[in-house]
Amino acid sequence: MEVVKTNIEGVVIIEPRLFKDDRGYFFESFSQREFDEKVRPIKFVQDNESMSSYGVMRGLHFQTMPYSQSKLVRCVKGAVLDVAVDIRKGSPTYGQHVAVELTGENHRQFFIPRGFAHGFTVLSEIAVFQYKCDNFYAPQHDGGISILDESLGICWRIPTGKAILSEKDTKHPLLKDFESPFLYGEDLYK
């Protein structure tokens, strides 16, 4: 696997080594040893999958301590625009984001560390999205910032007036009205 650094430290894109022939393709989607060496030591404990239609926007979500989560995400069918927003107070990249298109064809994966809000929008007719988490889901520790916050400067590549959001995702605060539970430099993995 090739690890591509982004403009925010710790947020990386993973390009798998794809082996193709006339039968199709093969790639190793995850190797604990290689991930620990090239990205960071981690132990994933939960795998999730969602299916969504065009225009669905999910996020921008996070969980608070002690249930904060890192995520390794990928789109196995269709296409999504996936985004990580730095919400660590005091970070030199606070409020900045990284966006990457994940598709069933490019096989890319995106690693979002703890201390980031995460969301995506579906660009294809349907998308099947999978993600690994390094902590269990804890609904009482859910948090979020508005996925439609224009101050974040995210180009979602769909008309946001036609976006399909859950009721919960329409109620998250804007970044300017948000009090982050994460501090830059704090060990979020203890």
Q: Kindly report the CATH number assigned to the domain that includes residue 179.
A: 2.60.120.10
Tell whether 77 is covered by a domain: yes
> What are the residues facing 118 on neighbouring strands?
61, 84
User: What pLDDT score does 24 carry?
Assistant: 87
Query: What element of type H or E holds 97?
Result: strand 97-103
**Counted domains in the chain:** 1
**Domain range holding 154?**
44-183
Catalytic annotation, pick one of 61, 97, 107, 172? 61
User: What pLDDT score does 180 carry?
Assistant: 95
Tell whether 85 is covered by a domain: yes
Does the pTM surpass 0.85? The reply is yes
Show the low-confidence residues of the chain (pLDDT under 70): none
Amino acid (one-letter) located at 75: C
User: What pLDDT score does 160 carry?
Assistant: 83
User: What pLDDT score does 28 carry?
Assistant: 85
- The DSSP letter of residue 164 is B
Tell whether 138 is covered by a domain: yes
Active site residue 189: no
User: What pLDDT score does 18 carry?
Assistant: 83
Active site residue 118: no
User: What pLDDT score does 9 carry?
Assistant: 94
Tell whether 34 is covered by a domain: no
User: What pLDDT score does 90 carry?
Assistant: 96
CA distances, 2 to each of 33, 80, 145, 152 (Å): 14, 21, 31, 28
Tell whether 83 is covered by a domain: yes
Tell whether 21 is covered by a domain: no
Catalytic annotation, pick one of 97, 107, 118, 131? 131
Query: What element of type H or E holds 34?
Result: helix 32-38
Tell whether 73 is covered by a domain: yes
Tell whether 124 is covered by a domain: yes
